[in-house]
Chain A
Amino acid sequence: MSEKNSLFVKDDEDDDVDMISNANDSTTKEGTSSVAVESMDIDIDNDSLDSNSDEANFDIDEEDPIIEEIPLNIGGKDEHLHILQYIGKNKRLGKKPANHPFVSDIRYKAKSSVWELEIPLDESSFFNKNKDNEINGGDDWEDANIQYLKGVSVKNNGQYVAFSSNKQVYLLPVEKIAQVKPYFKHIDDLTKKRKQIESKNNATPASQKAQVVTMSVKSVSDQAANKLAGSLRAHKIEAEEDPLKLSWVENTFNSFRDSVKQEVSEHQLKCISERDVYLSKLFH
């Protein structure tokens, strides 16, 4: 591993943040975009714990002189920022967009918040075409020329994406973070196929027998008992959910930045609590 390791993926991947403008998803977030909040960094979300740390920092940083004041802007009314982390991606690819894998297809399951990415593999180097088609110890991977990435996104609270422009910092709340990992769909497909063949070949009399379906009042109550719970249910919902097909757009950062600036300038950030209330909160 390289010495750059101490950097976190998130920092690495900030450039990969892409907005997925989702027209259907009308915002319910309070998201008031902002004008600068000066000197005291009171957050708009009146999280008492948050403020605690501020107070603690005051004590420590007493002798720290103020060098420069940078206005902060909070946006995030219209944007839905999802961060995709490429776990296991080669570090050396880094930020170079040229080396960045091209995403050919992207799907999102909104209900279970699952991302699926398709990346075509570079068949020109390090790609064993023979492995692709030949029967290799029974493993026939059909057309394994696409890398599938999949990840569940997790709600995020308290992290922001920032960029600076004209000596102003713009903060945008991150909605969800997903770690996308490769998964070998071709192997699973193969197993599935083999199983189907197997069950067809070894059809046992039990499975062949027609089942008598009885309908009675009692069976209604059975349904309640058969409900899946917890993770199983989540998996079932995920399996049954139709993914939303999205398109992968790159090089939109400039327009994104402009739109954020635009949005921020339109809204005035208002403080909903008063100074005294806030201070008294700190002490109790």
Chain B
Amino acid sequence: MSSRRSRSRQPGGSRITDDQINDLVSKLQQLLPEIRDRRSDKVSAANVLQETCNYIRNLHREVDDLSERLSGLLATTDTAQAAIIRSLLMQ
């Protein structure tokens, strides 16, 4: 599974089989809430790739929103709240 291994088989790429790709695509499908529960023979690879893009975009958007929210919160927190956050470090 390491990227190192996959890089070594890169030149030409002839050793990458359809089976390998399909295997990786169905692993990816497992991670996508929208299509996780669908049977893998009902979902095309293109479909999985499309959903993957959507999901990553959503996660990026969530990071943006949360960064904004945290920035606003940082301006209003008092020392007690900061202490609570600091205590999270100890967990």
The answer to whether A and B interact is no
Interface residues of B (CB under 8 A from A): none
Interface residues of A (CB under 8 A from B): none
